[in-house]
Amino acid sequence: MSKLEMKKIELIAMLTDSKKIIELLQRRGVVEISRNADGLDYMNVTGVIGEFEKFRNIAVQALGVLDRYAPEKKSVTEIFGSKSEMDINKFGSNAMQLEKIMTVAGEIVRSSQEITESEKKILQLNVRCDTLRQWKNLDIPVNFKGTATTTAFIGSVPSAVDITEILPENTYTETVYRSKEITDIFVISHKETADDTADILRKNGFIPLSETDSHTPAEIIKSCEKERQNLLKYITELEKHITGFAGQRKNLEFAVDYLSMRKDKYNALNLLGFTENTFVLNGYIPEKYTDKLRKELESKFTVYVDFTEPSEDDDVPVLLENGNFSAPVESITKMYAMPSKSDVDPTPIMSFFYYLFFGMMLSDAGYGLVMLIGTTIILKKFRLDDTMKKTMTMFRNCGISTIIWGALFGSWFGDIVQVIGREYFGKEIGSIAIWFQPLDDPIRLLLYSFGLGILHLFLGVGVSFKMSWDEGKKLDAILDTVPVYLTIIGVAPLASSILVSVPAIMKTIGTYLMIAGIVLIILTSGRSSKSVMGKFFGGLYALYNTATGYLSDILSYSRLLALGLATGSIAGVINLIGTMPENMIVKTVLLLIVFIVGHTANLAINLLGAYVHTDRLQFVELFSKFYTGGGREFRPFTADTKYINFREDI
């Protein structure tokens, strides 16, 4: 089915039903609402949206606080993105409790803020105590400034300065603390020489103690320690208070989703046009849902609904729908770009080669078996959202392809079958490959990689041919496609003869096909030019682009060989390391450990490599032949929830 046909929807209904209709459309999730441009009035809901966003943020913060102080032990189902089911009646009863839930959320956030403030105070107290600890031997208040006839100075100077040698004679100096870098001193000077003393101290880097307390350092330190203990006790009480709300997590999750839906609802209302008694809604809907939605709306409300064909100027969104085989790789297409109006959906075109290339790159039947078992269990046992379900299905299909290629190449966790036979049974087991072993004949695999690459490229060129043909450009379709096919088919046996022996008849046929293709490219590629020279040089330029472009494209498929060999080679090394000890018990233990750890790491690394490079072969080599992209994904107004799914009987 690929791209679904889209219809424009225009809905006119009574103003009193606006919120109910919007809520119904949100639950159905099949309409993308557009801003009404008919000069009607709009509802100013900015303030309401802001309030919902504020309360939602509080609920999100409260969940974050609970996750920090009372983390939830998530089941495997929840790890894979499963949402809890909730029917419409339960949803309504929970909504009635929203005020209580938000009170709880506010209390959790307030307690967290109190903890943060207390921790800041503790940090400040620690800094103060650390600063005063070197002054603990000072037995006078730290804010002591002197007597009626004297002036006191409390502070620090660099240890390199011998302050006693340069101060006036009638000045008393006491060293409170000394280190390699700094000396803490207490200086008391007569009023008559106080200014001179201050001037000398300043010139020698004196830094006054920045304390204004009327207690001694020891008393201040003791007071700080007591306050710090009180704050720690208070923090413990607050943490206990927060953990007491752990049972409210589900309610808070509901609040997050409910407030998100309410905010989205008012955002949708902001797109409607209003008259005194009615409202107007415009947007897009997949054609397959039109009849069902019309019947439901007309049965519940006084409403006018009309579905029309979009015009050429409309920014029509794109919704992809494919069969079970192709749908799992829709995310790959979306990662590149959604198809434009003139594009075909490339998903069903690339899906077969996507699975084929992925399996060929990973190419170990043992790894494929792990993928197949793991993804099948996840798909069968867990309730997944649509995106996660498609992802798991894609990797399951890739796992099946990997098993097939691994069996063809005789790789089951590398050469573990041969290793076990040799090390534990003293029996040499030969190749178990159904086809051949790439490590023994890499050139053969390289040529097959290039061959599959050529088929992949021809598929893209063929799609381009069909698109041009369907547009009525039949001559262009032939002249842009046939010369390329002839040239590449002709060059293939000639290039292969560099690496392997090719029958002379094949090379002769290839030469004639190549010449025919080159001549056609030169004669037809510059057909848009009006002058003879323009046509000729345009043809030469096209020949150059075809030669260099397709050469680089075909060489790109050597990655099929490279990644396939890498997986098998690393797997073989892992098995070799596990069997290095002579002692059978030690060998068995080491092999078991190395097997589990090594093959897990090898699977993870090469799984990522196969995914990335398979994507690249689609994006760069295939899509460049026919696909432009640039479409806009269909984004329906729906209940975009994070924690809950709704069940509703229609």
At 5-62, the pLDDT tens digits run: 999 999 999 999 998 999 899 989 999 999 876 667 777 788 888 999 999 999 999 9
* Whole-number Å distance between alpha carbons of 8 and 597: 56
> What is the Cα–Cα distance from 502 to 500, expressed in whole angstroms?
6
Neighbours of 239 (CB within 10 A): 16
Q: Is 213 strand, coil or helix?
A: coil
Decide: 157 and 206 in contact? Cβ < 8 Å. Answer: yes
Predicted pLDDT of residue 650: 40
Q: Collect all residues with Cβ–Cβ distance below 8 Å to 447 and sequence separation of at least 6.
A: 496, 499, 500
Predicted pLDDT of residue 595? 95
3-state secondary structure (DSSP) of residue 42: coil
pLDDT < 70 positions in the chain? 1, 37-39, 74-82, 646-650
Alpha-carbon span 323 to 384, nearest angstrom: 19
The helix/strand/coil state of 259 is helix
Contacts of 366 (CB under 8 A, 6+ apart): 406, 411, 412, 413, 414, 416, 599
- pLDDT at site 649: 45
* Token pair for 483: 């010369």
Distance CA 436, CA 431 (A): 8
Rounded CA separation 40/271 (Å): 11
330 vs 301, 563, 611, CA distance in Å? 37, 24, 14
Q: What is the DSSP letter of 3?
A: E
323 Cβ neighbours under 8 A, 6+ residues apart: 1, 348
What is the structure's pLDDT at 37?
Answer: 65
Residue 264 CA to residue 606 CA, distance in Å, equals 42
* Under 8 Å between Cβ of 547 and 495: no
Report the pLDDT value the prediction gives residue 80, as an integer from 0 to 100: 59
Max CA pair span of the chain: 120
**Is 436:409 a contact under the CB 8 Å cutoff?**
yes
SS3 190: strand
pTM of this prediction?
A: 0.81
DSSP string, 270-306: TT-EE-SSEEEEEEEEEGGGHHHHHHHHHHHS-EEEE
Please report which helix (H) or strand (E) contains residue 484, including its range.
helix 474-496
Phi-psi region of 3 (alpha: psi -120 to 50; beta: other; left: phi over 0): beta
| Burial class of residue 491, CB neighbours in 10 A (0-12, 13-18, 19+) | buried
Nearest-Å Rg of the Cα atoms of the chain is: 38
CA distance linking residue 512 with residue 489, whole number of Å: 10
114 touches 238 (CB < 8 A): yes
